[in-house]
Structure 1
């Protein structure tokens, strides 16, 4: 009984994390800069992905981040399906041995999905922070 509760809890946590990754992907604002002076002169500047006519016109690191996010979403979706089939409390999937193999495959999918999303977020954050702290960078910070 305890292992089924752990499986259900793990399924809920991994599926909710996949939903959160899915919710961050379709945002259009990729860079936000704000200039704060006194109360009167406050401005925010957005770098929007809609400004570009095609996906190939974006910077290379944004294309890489979007590709990694798409891979993370696809792997997480298939991981959720495999986890649902591999759980002991579901009636689909066959014997316990085949369910164990499917659950192991689901775990691998979730790990790869997490690594893809983590590397996409890290790549983007590194690029933004390195541009922000670079004194030779002349564009909007």
Structure 2
């Protein structure tokens, strides 16, 4: 358990260095490697905690069911279950660290950059009044002379 605590502490410091918002650690690729290394240490910390809780639970149950054991007998308590849950969360956290680096390597090379072009209903067209643009959504009211009215909907209109 002491090894698990020390590994978890050093893993948290290494993970802080590997975060994208820190200026320590270099480029995004080197930070991704640092975070992956922290994830492996975090998984190792969880395995140390899991093994120590399991060894103690084995000892408690073997002493409890031994008829020749005369000293005070203990039962499995909440601390063991919390230890098992915490160690599983450490292992899952380390796996998340290891799988989070795939975004760093693929985002710069395979995903194209998308430019914001504005919404379809608010695109600007030039206007001749005082240099202000006229919005396409500001159309004049339809003529009331015809009995059949044609409604122009943009692609963002709700039907």
Question: Larger RCO: Structure 1 or Structure 2 (Cα < 8 Å, ≥ 6 residues apart)?
Answer: 1
| TM-score normalised according to structure 2 size | 0.44
| TM-score normalised according to structure 1 size | 0.49
Which structure dedicates a bigger proportion of its chain to helix?
A: 1
